[in-house]
Structure 1
Amino acid sequence: MITKAKLTVSKKVLGIFTVLFSLQSALATAQNEKAKITRYEVKEQYLEKFQKAISEYVQKSLSNESNIMSEAYFEQNNKTVIWLFERWTSKTALDKNNSKSVKELAQTALVKPEEIIYVKDLEPLNKEQWRRTSKKEDNQLTIMLFVDAKAGTEKNFMEVYHTAMPQFRSEPGVVTYQLSQLENDKTQFVTFEKFRSNDAFQYHLNFPPIQPVIDYLNTSIKKQPFQDGIHNLIEFAPLTRE
């Protein structure tokens, strides 16, 4: 005979297993995702044409169900340097959706071959989170920071960021914040930080939880000053706003 108490316990156990299964499924999905950063250095006479080709590719990618995020930027201090950020549900999806027009144009439009960087996100975001946008009235500021950690300190760096990340993402001026590790070198990392304004960025720099990160950057990376690895980026695709 099944009592109410036993039935209640059974429902709780079932609920726990359901949550665990959901977490395992989400983790498996995140592990299969493929993230890619591509750097292009474009000849000035091809810049407008190349930006247009990249913009068309970004728009097409975003309409694909397998795409998680796709965004393109140029360097604030050098418009000829373009960065393309992509995340797909799998490597197969990424490889399948490469842009033929961009690839063909790159053969003549680039100063040198593109640089491809595959990364693993250490604090995964879902598709909805990646596609959050700034508001129309915002003056978005996007920062990318490459970190080359001293061997043996990379675990400490990840732990520091793991503790701070939820607090960073809860800041009112933060749109996106991510830490990734380069696949081909476990001592190299890249952060991708999107703020609603320069004021929001300045708030972040003075936000107490950032201090352990700053302390690490000032003591445990291979080359100082760490600011040399900072890139200020200007978005040109998809450039959507709330």
Structure 2
Amino acid sequence: MTTRNLIGFAALILFTSSLATSQNKTPVSRITCYEVKKEDQENFKKAISNYVLKSLSDENNIMSEAYFEQENQNVIWLFERWKNQTAFEKLRKNPLSKMIKALAKTSLIRPEKVIDINDLEPLSKEQWRKTSKKKEHQLTIMLFIDAKAGTEESFKTIYHKAMPEFRSESGVVTYQLSQFVDDKTQFVTFEKFRSNDAFQYHLHFPPIQPVLDYLNTSIKKPPFQDAIHNLIEFSPLFRE
């Protein structure tokens, strides 16, 4: 082998090693939406639930939860966060993941939608695994925000200021803002409240006003309330 070939081979090894190291350190945050045929809902929910429980047993999993929409139980949402890409890809090769893929071929109304996101001011594993109490009636809200181009940084600044206040509310279990990986003008919030009363308090909490002002003036398709999703958890359903 010539000197030039040796240098090229060494460079390839270094690149491959660097890529593997990067994948092993880069966290994964993903939302997957499935629209399931009514007759297949129970089997599909069971497969998703089994996958969630398996995920939670992995030391590299940060959170894994599944919901259906209150207004349309055909729509199922799977939320996942992993410490690194390697662990995520490993579980995707598990039989439980393959079962979901197999069911999806015949059970879905349309192909699943995958949304990769970056969490802004991310929560720790311990914070994600906080739960409401058994006697409480947890309310989970997801809001998609389609921001006008050029206003993204303003929105992030507003939320950066408000986030500590939101997370300190006694009725808040979880509060996370995330930005789409492939479209920086799109965001999603994931909010868990201990009850509807806690949610109503949040809507009238003074620090929320700048956020509401933004949502009423700087999104592409008002009103922002049209993008709110009320979610009902079916896995893992852990409670204090």
TM-score normalized by the length of structure 2: 0.88
Partner residue of 1:75?
69
In structure 2, the gaps of 5 or more residues are: 1-21
Partner residue of 1:228?
226
1:155 to 143, 153, 156: 153
Report the alpha carbon displacement of residue 224 of structure 1 after superposing the two structures with TM: 0.6
Q: State how 1:108-187 maps to structure 2 within 5 Å.
A: 108-187=106-185
Partner residue of 2:84?
90
Report the alpha carbon displacement of residue 94 of structure 1 after superposing the two structures with TM: 1.4
Matched length:
214
Question: What is the identity, as a one-letter code, of the residue corresponding to 2:49?
Answer: S
d(CA) in 1 for partners of 2:121, 2:158 = 12
Deviation readout 1:167-187 (Å, 9 max, x if unpaired) = 000000000000000000000
Structure 1 segments (4+ residues) deviating >4 Å? none
Partner residue of 2:55?
61
Partner residue of 1:34?
28
Deviation readout 1:24-52 (Å, 9 max, x if unpaired) = xxxx9xx7211000000000110000000
Query: Could you tell me the percent identity over the aligned residues?
Result: 70
TM-score normalized by the length of structure 1: 0.87
CA-atom RMSD, angstroms?
1.3
d(CA) in 1 for partners of 2:234, 2:126 = 20
In structure 1, the gaps of 5 or more residues are: 1-27
Question: What is the identity, as a one-letter code, of the residue corresponding to 2:193?
Answer: F
2:101 to 93, 99, 103: 103
Partner residue of 2:188?
190
d(CA) in 1 for partners of 2:142, 2:126 = 21
Deviation readout 1:42-76 (Å, 9 max, x if unpaired) = 00110000000000000000000110000000000
Report the alpha carbon displacement of residue 91 of structure 1 after superposing the two structures with TM: 1.6
Say which SS state the counterpart of residue 111 (structure 1) adopts: strand
